[in-house]
Structure 1
Amino acid sequence: MIAKISTPLNLGSPTLAATTASFRNRLPTQMRRCIPLYVGCVVLVLFIFNLSLFRSSQQHVMMRPPFSAKEHAPPAKVRDDFPKKIWQSWKVNPLQFERKHADVARSWAEKNPEYRYEVLTDGNEMQYVEEHFGPMGFNRPDIVDFFRDLKDAIVKADLLRYLIMYAEGGLWADIDVEAIKPMSKFIPPRYDVKEIDMVVGVEIDEPDWNQHPILGPKSQSFCQWTFMCKPQQPVMMRLIEHIMTWLGDVAKNQTASISDVHLDFDQIISGTGPSAFTEAIMTEMNILAEKQGEKKVVWDDFHDITESKVVSRVLVLTVEAFAAGQGHSESGTHDAKAALVKHHYHASNWPGAHPRYNHPAYGEVEVCNWKDECVRKWDEDVAAFNKMSPEEQAVVVGEKERERQEKKEREEREKKEREEEDRRKEEEKKKEEMEELKRKWREEEAEAARAAKGETTTTTTANAEATKGAKKDDKKP
C-alpha cells in the first residue's frame, strides 16, 4: 500500500501522486536537496537578464537617434517662404562698428524694415553654435567640438554662415556688402516662392579657363557673400560635413591639429569658400535632377545667362545681381537694373594670412583679373621660365625683383606726392575758409558799429526834442 503524499500542491489524482512518489524515490537524496537551489539560480539569472533588457530599452528611449540616420534628408516640414531674417557676422557688435561698416550695414535695415537684422560676433558665435547644434538643438556634438577647435578666422566665418543658414535660414550678407534694392526684388514675381529653396547669384563665369592649373577651380562659381536659404536644407549640411572632413584630412596630412593647420588662398576657396559652396549646390541639384529623371546639371546651364532661372529648386540670378562691378564675367555695373547689392571688399584682410600662389618671377596670375591676353602672357612667361637653367632663372628672378622694387618705390613716391598734394589743397581750403570767416566777422562788426551809431543818433535827437518841448512848457502861464 502506497502512503499518501503530503504536499502543498493539490495533486488530486491518486495515480499522479503515486507516480510522483515513485519518481522522487528514484532521485538521490542530495540531488533532491539541491533542486530548490537550482531553481533559485535559474530564477535569479532570468531576473538579471530581464533587468538588463529593461535598462537597455530605457536607454534606447532616452537617447536621440544619430543625425547620420537622417543625413541629407529633406526638412520634416518644408517652409513655403523664406524667413524674414538678415544675418551678418563681425568681430564686434553693431554699436562698435567703424563708420564704413555701419553705413553699409544700415542699408539692409533701411531697405528692409520688416526684416529682423542680427549680427553674430566673435564674442557670441560659440554660444549660438552650442545652442543650435548642442543637445537641445540638432544634437551634433561633433559640429560643436569642431567649431570650438577652429582658430582660422576665415574658415570660422565661412562655416558660421552655413551653420546659421541651416539652423534658421534667411539671407546672409558679408559685413561689407551693401543693399542697393530691397529684398522684395530678389525673387522676380514670375516665380512661386514655394518652389524655391535657395537664391544664389553667379559670381565668376569664366569657363574658358576651367583647365588652368591655378584659375581652373575658381573659374565658375556662385557668390557666397550674399545668398538666401530656407532652413534645414540638405545642401547646407552637406557643405558643413564636407568642411569637417576636408579640414580633418588636411590636418592629418600636416600631422597637426585642426587649430594649427596652415592653408593658402586656393585651399580656402576650394575648401570652405565659393568653390566648395558651388560644388555642394551643384551636387544637390543633380541629386534632385536624377530623382526626377532630368538631365545632369552642368555649368553651361548658367554660363552667360541673361535672366534668372530655377534649377532643381535653386533660383540662380545673373552675375549682375550679387556680383556687379567686378570687371570680369560680364558683370556689368552697380547702376544696372539687375544689380541688387554692392560688395565693397573692405572688411577682412584674410588673403594676407592665406597668400595666393606667387611665381618668383611673374607674381600672381590673379592680377590679370581674368583678362585673356594677360593670363596667356603669364602662362607663356611661366612656361618659358620652366625651360631655363637654374642660373638663367636666377637672372630673370633678379631682374623681375628689381622691376618690382622700382615699381614699389615709384608707387610710394606717387602716393607720397598725392598725399602731399592733398595736404596742400586741404591747407589752402582751410586758409580760404578762415579768410571767409574773418571777412564775415569784419562785416558783422561793421554792421554792429553802424547799428550802434544809428541808435545813438536817434537817442540824441529824441532827447533834444524832449528838452525843447520841456522849455516850451515852462514859458506857458
Structure 2
Amino acid sequence: MLSGRYPTWQNARLKTIASIVFCIVALVLVYEERAVLDPRKANVVSVLPSIPSFIWHVFLHKREIDPKLQTAIHSWAELNPEHEYHLVDTVGATDILFDLYKTRPDVVHTFQSLESTVMRADFLRYVLLARYGGVYTDVDTEAIIPINHWIPEAYKNFTRVVIGIEYDQLEEERHVTMPHSLSLCQWTIAATANHPLLWYAVEETMYQIHSLADSYQTDVEHLRPTDKEVIVTTGPGLWTASVIKHLRNKGYHNITYADFSGLKEPKLIDDILILPIDAFGTGQPHSGSNKEGSPDALARHLFSMSWRHGCTPGDSAPCWD
C-alpha cells in the first residue's frame, strides 16, 4: 500500500503505470500459453466466426461402444471445453427428428424407414449439420488440435464449411472401394447451420436411397446395401459428389475432382475450405498421407470399421447392420 507521503496525483500515476505493466504481462502470458498449446498454429484465429460450438457424435448401433474408443471420444470434449457436446443415440435422434418433422416430414420419413444402421448414421450427420451446424465427427476419431484453431486467419471471415480429403488416388492404383479418383472426408465435417451444401446433401441422400430401393424393386425399409452401395448412396461417394454438384450450381461450372487433388495448403472455394489429406486423414498408407502422423493433423481417424462387421471392402454381398 502506498504511503501517505505521496501526493494524490503521484499515487494515481503509480497506479496507472502498474495497470499498464500488468496488462503487458498478461498479454505476454496469453501469447506464451497459445504458443505452448500449439506453436505451429500461432497464425490461426482462436474462434470460428460462423460455425456453432456444437460437437456431434452419432452411435445408433444396438451394441455398446467399443471401450477402446472411449479415450478418442473423450478427447473432443476435453480439447474443446467451450463446445457443447452431444452423443446422439437412437432415442436422441428421435427427439431431434421430432423437432424437424414440422418443416421436413419427408426427411423424417426417409430416416425412420431405413433399417441399415450405417445408412442412418450417414444420413443423420448431414441432417444434424444442416439443421444445427457445428462439427460432426465419427466416434472412432481423435481430436488433436482444438476446433477453434482449425481455420487459418486468412480464411476466418469467409469459411462456412470445413472439409478434409479422405482419399486421393494420385499416381497409385485405384482403391477397390473408391468410386472416383478422389474422395472428400465425411467422418469429420464442420459447417454453419442451414448451409445450402448440407441441405443439398440431405436431398441427394434421400434421392439416392429411394433410387436404390427402386432398383431392387423394394421399399427403403428392406434395403440390404452392399459395401459399395453404402459408399455411393449415403457415404463419402455421395458426399463428394454433393460438394462437386453444389459448387457447380454456385457457378463453378468447370470444377472437377482434380481441383482437390494433391493439395498442400488449405483451398477456399466459395465459402468451403478444403484441407489437405493430413488434416483429417493423417496416418493412412495412401493418398500422400504422412504414414507416421503429421504435424498438420487436426484430427485422427482410427478406422474401427465397426459398420462393416468383418466384411471385406468391396464385397458384393450385403454388408450392413
TM-score range, shorter chain: 0.7 to 0.9
- 1:334 deviates by 5.5
Aligned residue in 2 for 1:82: 51
Aligned residue in 2 for 1:232: 194
Distance 1:208 1:268, change over 3 A: farther
The amino acid across from 2:92 in the alignment is: N
Aligned residue in 2 for 1:320: 278
Work out the CA distance in 1 between the residues paired with 2:234 and 2:81: 31
Distance 1:87 1:334, change over 3 A: farther
Task: Describe how 1:331-350 pairs up with structure 2 within 5 A.
Answer: 331-333=289-291, 335-346=293-304, 348-350=306-308
Contact 2:57 2:86 in 1 (8 A): yes
- 1:238 deviates by 1.5
Work out the CA distance in 2 between the residues paired with 1:127 and 1:190: 38
Aligned residue in 2 for 1:439: none
- Structure with more of its chain in strand, by fraction: 2
Aligned residue in 2 for 1:251: 213
Aligned residue in 2 for 1:154: 118
Work out the CA distance in 2 between the residues paired with 1:216 and 1:222: 11
Work out the CA distance in 1 between the residues paired with 2:299 and 2:267: 19
Work out the CA distance in 2 between the residues paired with 1:310 and 1:351: 37
Task: Describe how 1:198-213 pairs up with structure 2 within 5 A.
Answer: 198-206=161-169
Distance 1:150 1:306, change over 3 A: same
Aligned residue in 2 for 1:169: 133
Contact 1:166 1:231 in 2 (8 A): yes
Aligned residue in 1 for 2:32: none
The amino acid across from 1:116 in the alignment is: E
Larger radius of gyration: 1
Deviation per CA, 1:375-431, whole angstroms, max 9, x where unpaired? xxxxxxxxxxxxxxxxxxxxxxxxxxxxxxxxxxxxxxxxxxxxxxxxxxxxxxxxx
Aligned residue in 1 for 2:87: 119
Task: Describe how 1:382-421 pairs up with structure 2 within 5 A.
Answer: none
Aligned residue in 1 for 2:158: 195
- 1:353 deviates by 6.2
Counterpart selection for 1:272 from 198, 209, 234: 234
Contact 2:176 2:314 in 1 (8 A): no
Work out the CA distance in 1 between the residues paired with 2:55 and 2:315: 35
Work out the CA distance in 2 between the residues paired with 1:246 and 1:354: 23
Counterpart selection for 2:104 from 140, 146, 150: 140
Distance 1:335 1:355, change over 3 A: closer
TM-score by length of 1: 0.53
Aligned residue in 2 for 1:66: none
- 1:168 deviates by 0.3
Distance 1:176 1:114, change over 3 A: same
Question: What SS does the corresponding residue of 2:202 show, helix, strand or coil?
Answer: helix
Task: Describe how 1:43-82 pairs up with structure 2 within 5 A.
Answer: 80-82=49-51
Aligned residue in 2 for 1:302: 260
Distance 1:97 1:348, change over 3 A: closer
- Provide runs of 4+ in structure 1 moved above 3 Å: 207-210, 212-216, 351-355
Contact 1:209 1:219 in 2 (8 A): no
Question: What SS does the corresponding residue of 2:97 show, helix, strand or coil?
Answer: helix
Structure 1 unaligned spans of 5+: 1-78, 360-477
Work out the CA distance in 1 between the residues paired with 2:81 and 2:196: 30
Work out the CA distance in 1 between the residues paired with 2:307 and 2:269: 34
Structure 2 unaligned spans of 5+: 1-47
Higher normalized contact order (CA 8 Å, seq sep 6+, divided by chain length):
2
Work out the CA distance in 1 between the residues paired with 2:222 and 2:273: 38
1:261 equivalent to 2:219? Answer no
Distance 1:301 1:255, change over 3 A: closer
The amino acid across from 2:57 in the alignment is: Q
Aligned residue in 2 for 1:366: none
1:108 equivalent to 2:81? Answer no
Contact 1:87 1:118 in 2 (8 A): yes
Deviation per CA, 1:403-460, whole angstroms, max 9, x where unpaired? xxxxxxxxxxxxxxxxxxxxxxxxxxxxxxxxxxxxxxxxxxxxxxxxxxxxxxxxxx
Work out the CA distance in 2 between the residues paired with 1:122 and 1:347: 20
Aligned residue in 1 for 2:22: none
Work out the CA distance in 1 between the residues paired with 2:111 and 2:166: 27
TM-score by length of 2: 0.77
Work out the CA distance in 1 between the residues paired with 2:193 and 2:251: 21
Distance 1:106 1:216, change over 3 A: closer
- Equivalenced residue count is 269
Work out the CA distance in 2 between the residues paired with 1:109 and 1:190: 27
Contact 1:265 1:351 in 2 (8 A): no
Contact 1:309 1:316 in 2 (8 A): yes
The amino acid across from 1:84 in the alignment is: S
Contact 1:286 1:296 in 2 (8 A): yes
Work out the CA distance in 2 between the residues paired with 1:340 and 1:176: 14
- 1:337 deviates by 1.6
